[in-house]
Structure 1
């Protein structure tokens, strides 16, 4: 039974658990007869680092795309930081609203493909959205971009365009671009899948640093099992549009409770 969402009475001297920063309530996503998500109930606490694992086609990336408003749920409700991002009943059409746009600003995403503007420098790629979406002044945006490029180890490459950068460097620019919007939630959709093996480590190091040194809420879809085990507060196993198992990394990777989790890990960890 799902816990009640009614406010809990405050008991003096006892701290209540924080409200989830992300909440999916009975969220489904269908493409015709293909049920990608099936009445999903899923919470992420403020500051929590959550990795989502599972086979291809299990609905992992769809969760991120719904949060980014790139996909519309077929049914259900999605709440981010106390504001409703989606509230869909059967047959209801969803319209773009100011609240949806404002809530969307709280979320940043790093995609599989880097999606950088090839004709712009690394600096220009990073300042574009803060200036035009947040209304940030150009001088402030450039100062923030320089700080972020240094953070991801690319301070000397701010005037390079994407074709002048390696794949790992481009993905690090993409991470800096997402951080420039000062999101409360940072999403990663298999951020190393498009990289050559020798470049994966440099991107994982940046993500590892963010996970260990910031209180940002992070939700990552990944096939890097050992990395997920290292940086996550919680790991969620998805299969066939549903969360099969959820728990601390030590439980999921060392003592999974579900046979589907065990069979998946046997398959991916033997390679």
Structure 2
């Protein structure tokens, strides 16, 4: 068992990995830093002999890695999702250096939240749609003249930084807090936020908010706003109640219009 209570709440997620050996090397990178949760999202090839050979002692981490179909499924219960990306994309996210990202990971996991650090495909990284599911981006400042970083090497950099942040915090500060009325409300999970965003999009359509304009731009801005605010479960329930009333009023207005 890890000396850090936060560790079981930290997962590293590999999306669409193309080479099985990289999954094995990533598992080894995690185990050397005392981390053990690896999630595989739709790898191009299944784990094979090379993958376990390159795990070199971390066969338990690799063999225990769940395989899921989508990134949304992999992070559904998470309260913080950080996506590692090598270049700027159309999705505007707060961009963090590895040390800053690792501090955020350690802090949130220490508070009892589930946390995910996400890595994309070797050649193309994470798609814009996948980055939309992240709260912030992590950029490793490699040499621009030769910026391509091996997937397992990138995992090693983040795993190392996370371990350093854990070593710099008192173990008792990382323990899950006791039930306390003064403790802040539990932040909403990724799945709860995605359900809220779905209802928000439907409501904006029903009240004709977009007035014929494409909704994508407004929704991107609203997603950034709410992800930055990190609403709690109770706050999301309140917001969804407001949306439900707005939808009800829109339906009544529509029915009256048809009746008139």
* TM-score (ref. length: structure 2): 0.23
Larger radius of gyration: 2
* TM-score (ref. length: structure 1): 0.23
Larger proportion of strand? 1
